[in-house]
Structure formats: structure tokens, C-alpha cells
């Protein structure tokens, strides 16, 4: 059974020849054009699952499908944004953005003008010839997002993408992500440990348990809305998720 | 910044020159001639003698270096990138690396004779180990996360090589060549005292035997310049290709 979007079918991921199994028998569906936030205590295997979907780790069992096809980094366009933004230190900002389209052989004039538009909108145009080391973390994250969105990926996977940023830059960059996402509606899965981030950027939220299993899947009415942060329902939802995570973390 | 650096090198060169002159004046023996006389001799015999000898030495270094890069670089990449390759080849490298290569010279000369190939092979042996180890360790030091976004983009080995392996190993690779070069030139000097009538080693030792100290010193200065030119060239390549490492 497959459908459009990302479909994780009873997947197990393990290391060291099966001795460590951070993810066991997980099934998960992310409908096309939606964002799913994955949250859980540390050691719940959320990053491992993300890397599995990104094609970086091979599942020991089960299959992962993207838009009805078995997922394949070679055939499909998968954007992966790691926690440290995944920029190559020896490439300029511009070259870093272009890596995706270069590898996918889809570099042309349209892409270049689109890249300039992106850089302009993201406020990184003036840094185009600089190296990642020479710009701030928030700017690096914008470069990383520009790479993923310029590629117009079939799936976007982000591993705690905003966690290394300071509070103000984090909110700004979250807004940048949201505005890019609203234009392209790339099927997105991101891992976070920040409940408020999950509530702001995830249309649905999945809470993972300590054993690498899905504890709860929730619809999120607060997606893309910062104003609701002061409402009582928001507080309730936030505490509910926090409790779930705490419970998951203590179930050893 | 650049101009300052050039100026300071010029200042150091002038300093060495002055010290040399003072020592020559104080000792006043033919074994330590004045640098002015040495430079005059160097200019006088440059085109007629030194240029030819220097050309031979330079070509031998370049040939040994190219051979070492052509063989050592891919080997280093393979050992750094493919774990199985490393497991198989590492013991060989570790066992042969500490052998002082110069001690192999008699064997090499027995097998290859005293001609060009023995000299080039010696230079090759000295540089190749440095290259293999620098490139392999350069790859090992790349955090594996660096590859993740490229893996999920479906990158091929070609992409990994040009986007990650090559730029990441370049600084170490160039440093290794620079370090090995000093030893390579010394060994070249030594090999050029056998079985050839061309090369700076031959020229210097020949001047020594003829008790022509001015020509001997001129040869030493010329050989030093060969080393300096190669050093500067590697430095230049490094600043050109490793701009990303410099902080603003």
C-alpha cells in the first residue's frame, strides 16, 4: 500500500550488525505537501529515522516510499538539512546553494535567476561570494534552506534545523522556512526537541517513545500561527506534548 | 599584508647577506668568500654552467614529484575513503614508512644503475609516503556528516571527490609535499654525486674537488634558490586553493 508523500512501512534501523536498534518497526505517513514534526526524548531514534528516510542509513527491515516509489536518492530529489546546516566549508555561499541542482544536473538560466531571487529574499545576496565560516549561523541556515528549496525537492528532511540558533534568530529563520514552504509545499519531515517549534511548524506532530516507537500522532491546529501562543488551548496542547515526552523519556 | 610579507622576506635575505659578509671579513679565509664575489661568480657562470645543472636537478625533482603524486594521491584517496583498502594497505605503509629511504640507494643503484631512473625513484620514495598518509588522514578527519546532504542528493563518487575529498585534502596534501620537498632536495644532492656529470649536486662537489670555492658557493646558492622557488610555488598554490580556511 503506497500513496503520495512519504510512507514509512514497518521500518527497522540498526547499527553494529543489529546490536543497537534505535528504530524498530515504525510506520509513518506524511501526505504530499504537508509538514510533519517529529519530537521525542533524546535517544528515541528520531534522527536515525530521518537519516533512514534520507537514504543515508539503509533500513534493516521494511521499506520507505516517496510518491509511490521506493525511495531512492539517485532517482528522486531529497533535500537533507542537518543540524550543522550541511554546508561545505570550501565552497562559497552561491556554490553551496547550487550543489543540489548541480548534482541533479538541472542547472540552467532559470535556476540561476531563481537563485538570485532566493538570495535576495533571504537577505544573503551580499554574501554570495563568502565562505560559510564568514557568515553567521542564521545566515548559514538560510543558505541551507535556499539549497533545498532551489532544488524543488520531492521531500525535505531536517534534523533539528534551528536548534543551534539563538532565540531571536531562530524565530526569524523559522519564519523564513515557513514562507518558503508555503510557496512550494514540499513534503517535509523535521526533527525537533522544541515543543513550540513543533507547534509552529508542524501540521501534524509525532511523538516518539524511548524505544524508537511512535507514542502518539497529533493534529496541530496551531500550525503557522504565532499569535495563538497566548491562548489557553495552546498552553494545554503544549503541556500535553511535554508530558508525553517526559513519560516517554522515563519509560526505560 | 602581502606587501608587508614580501618586504619582511627581503629584509631577512638582506640580513643573511650582511651576516655572511661580516663573517667573511672577520675570518678572511678562502673557504668563506664574500657573498658579493659569490654572486658575481653566480651571474658570470649562470648561463654557461649553472642553468644547465640547475635544469637537470629541477627536472629530476619534478619527475619524482609527479610520479609520487600520480601514484600517492589515488592511493591516499582509496585508503581514506574505502575502509577495506585501508585495512589491507595500512600495514604495508606503516612497515615501510620508517625505513630511511636514502639507505635504499645502494639497492636501487644496483638494480636500476646509476642513471636518471635511480635518482627519480629516490625522490619518488621520499615524497610518496608523505602524500599517501596526508591524503588518507585528511579524508579520515572529514566529519561523516559532511557527506550526508550529498548522499541524500544521490551523489556519485565523482561528486564526492570533487565536492568533498579533493578540497578537504588539498591543504594537507600541499603541506606534505612542502615538508617532503626539503628532504627530497637533500637526497637529490646526494644522488647527484654518483654516476652523472649534470645536476647541482655534481656541480657543487666538482667545484669542491677543483678547490674552486667561489663556484662551489655559487652552486649552493643556486640550489637554495631551486628549493625556495618550489616552496614559494607550493605556498602560492595553497593560498589560491585554500582561501576558505583563512579567517576574515
Q: How far apart are CA B240 and CA B236, in angstroms?
A: 6
Q: How far apart are CA B122 and CA B55, in angstroms?
A: 18
CATH architecture of A31-53+74-250: 3-Layer(aba) Sandwich (3.40)
CATH 3.40.50.720 fits B33-241, yes or no: no
Question: Would you give the distance in Å from CA B86 to the centre of its chain?
Answer: 26
For B146, nearest residue in chain A (alpha carbons): A86
State whether A56 and B248 contact (CB < 8 Å).
no
Q: Which residues of A touch B153 (CB under 8 A)?
A: 73, 77-80, 99-100, 103-104, 151
Q: Are A234 and A196 in contact (CB under 8 A)?
A: no
- Of A235, A217, A241, A49, nearest in space to A249 by CA: A241
Q: How far apart are CA B155 and CA A100, in angstroms?
A: 9
User: Is this prediction's pTM over 0.95?
Assistant: no
- Of B154, B145, B150, B141, nearest in space to A83 by CA: B145
> Residue B211 phi/psi, 5° resolution?
55, 35
Q: How far apart are CA B55 and CA B179, in angstroms?
A: 22
**Domain spans in chain B, listed from the N-terminal domain onward:** 33-241
What is the DSSP code string of A34-45? -EEEEE--TTSS
> Span A47-65, mean pLDDT?
91
Nearest to A80 among B148, B164, B242 (CB): B148
pLDDT in tens, A142-189: 999 999 999 989 999 999 999 888 989 999 999 999 999 999 999 999
Mean pLDDT of chain B: 92
Q: Are A32 and A39 in contact (CB under 8 A)?
A: no
Q: Which residues of B touch A151 (CB under 8 A)?
A: 153
Residue for grid cell 598554490: B237
Q: Which residues of B touch A55 (CB under 8 A)?
A: 151-152, 154
Mutate to test the interface with A, among B141, B146, B153 (most CBs of A within 10 A): B153
Strands A187-192 and A35-39: parallel
Chain A nearest C-alpha distance from B36 (Å): 47
Chain A nearest C-alpha distance from B84 (Å): 16
Residue A39: pLDDT band with limits 50, 70, 90: very high
**Domain spans in chain A, listed from the N-terminal domain onward:** 31-53+74-250
pLDDT at B248: 44
How many Å is the Cα radius of gyration of chain B?
Answer: 22
> Span A109-115, mean pLDDT?
91
Q: Are A57 and A18 in contact (CB under 8 A)?
A: no
Cell of A142: 538560510
What is the DSSP code string of A188-229? EEEEES-HHHHHHH-SEEEEE-TTS-EEEEEE-TTTT-SGGG
Nearest to B153 among A90, A91, A104 (CB): A104
pLDDT at A251: 59
pLDDT in tens, B149-165: 999 999 999 999 999 99
pLDDT in tens, A184-231: 999 999 999 999 999 999 999 999 888 778 888 899 988 988 877 778
Tell whether ipTM is more than 0.85: yes
Nearest to B145 among A76, A84, A104 (CB): A84
Q: How far apart are CA B76 and CA B85, in angstroms?
A: 10
Q: How far apart are CA B14 and CA B58, in angstroms?
A: 26
For B169, nearest residue in chain A (alpha carbons): A90
Amino acid at each position: 500500500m503506497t500513496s503520495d508523500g512519504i510512507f514509512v512501512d514497518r521500518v527497522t534501523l540498526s547499527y553494529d550488525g543489529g546490536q543497537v536498534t534505535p528504530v524498530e518497526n515504525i510506520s509513518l505517513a506524511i501526505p504530499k505537501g504537508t509538514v510533519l514534526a517529529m519530537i521525542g526524548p533524546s535517544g528515541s531514534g528520531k534522527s536515525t529515522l530521518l537519516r533512514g528516510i534520507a537514504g543515508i542509513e539503509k533500513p534493516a527491515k521494511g521499506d520507505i516510499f516517496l510518491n509511490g516509489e521506493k525511495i531512492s536518492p539517485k532517482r528522486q530529489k531529497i533535500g537533507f538539512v542537518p543540524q550543522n546546516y550541511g554546508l561545505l566549508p570550501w565552497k562559497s555561499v552561491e556554490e553551496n546553494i547550487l550543489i543540489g541542482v548541480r548534482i541533479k544536473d538541472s542547472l540552467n538560466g532559470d535556476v540561476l535567476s531563481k537563485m538570485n531571487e532566493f538570495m535576495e529574499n533571504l537577505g544573503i545576496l551580499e554574501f554570495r561570494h563568502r565562505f560559510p565560516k564568514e557568515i553567521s549561523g542564521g545566515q548559514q541556515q538560510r543558505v541551507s534552506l535556499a539549497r533545498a528549496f532551489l532544488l524543488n525537492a520531492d521531500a525535505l528532511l531536517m534534523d533539528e534545523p534551528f536548534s543551534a540558533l539563538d532565540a531571536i534568530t531562530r524565530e526569524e529563520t523559522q519564519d523564513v522556512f515557513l514562507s518558503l514552504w508555503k510557496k512550494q509545499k514540499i513534503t517535509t519531515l523535521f526533527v525537533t526537541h522544541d515543543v513550540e517549534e513543533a507547534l509552529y511548524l508542524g501540521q501534524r506532530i509525532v511523538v516518539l517513545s524511548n524505544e524508537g516507537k511512535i507514542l502518539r500522532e497529533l493534529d496541530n491546529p496551531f500550525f503557522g500561527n504565532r499569535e495563538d501562543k497566548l491562548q489557553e488551548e495552546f498552553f494545554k496542547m503544549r503541556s500535553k506534548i511535554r508530558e508525553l515526552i517526559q513519560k516517554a523519556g522515563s519509560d526505560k | 599584508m602581502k606587501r608587508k610579507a614580501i618586504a619582511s622576506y627581503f629584509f631577512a635575505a638582506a640580513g643573511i647577506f650582511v651576516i655572511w659578509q661580516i663573517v667573511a671579513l672577520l675570518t678572511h679565509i678562502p673557504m668563506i668568500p664574500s657573498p658579493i664575489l659569490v654572486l658575481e661568480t653566480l651571474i658570470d657562470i649562470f648561463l654557461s654552467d649553472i642553468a644547465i645543472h640547475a635544469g637537470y636537478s629541477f627536472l629530476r625533482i619534478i619527475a619524482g614529484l609527479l610520479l609520487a603524486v600520480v601514484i600517492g594521491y589515488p592511493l591516499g584517496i582509496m585508503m581514506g575513503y574505502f575502509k577495506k583498502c585501508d585495512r589491507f594497505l595500512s600495514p604495508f605503509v606503516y612497515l615501510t614508512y620508517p625505513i630511511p629511504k636514502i639507505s635504499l640507494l645502494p639497492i636501487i643503484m644496483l638494480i636500476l644503475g646509476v642513471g636518471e631512473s635511480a635518482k627519480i625513484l629516490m625522490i619518488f620514495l621520499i615524497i610518496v609516503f608523505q602524500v599517501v598518509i596526508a591524503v588518507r588522514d585528511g579524508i579520515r578527519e572529514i566529519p561523516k556528516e559532511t557527506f550526508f546532504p550529498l548522499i541524500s542528493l544521490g551523489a556519485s563518487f565523482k561528486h564526492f571527490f570533487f565536492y568533498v575529498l579533493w578540497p578537504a585534502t588539498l591543504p594537507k596534501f600541499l603541506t606534505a609535499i612542502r615538508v617532503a620537498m626539503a628532504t627530497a632536495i637533500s637526497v637529490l644532492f646526494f644522488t647527484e654525486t654518483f654516476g652523472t656529470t649534470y645536476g647541482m649536486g655534481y656541480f657543487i662537489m666538482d667545484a669542491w674537488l677543483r678547490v674552486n670555492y667561489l663556484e662551489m658557493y655559487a652552486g649552493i646558492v643556486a640550489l637554495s634558490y631551486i628549493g625556495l622557488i618550489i616552496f614559494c610555488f607550493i605556498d602560492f598554490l595553497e593560498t589560491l586553493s585554500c582561501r576558505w580556511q583563512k579567517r576574515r
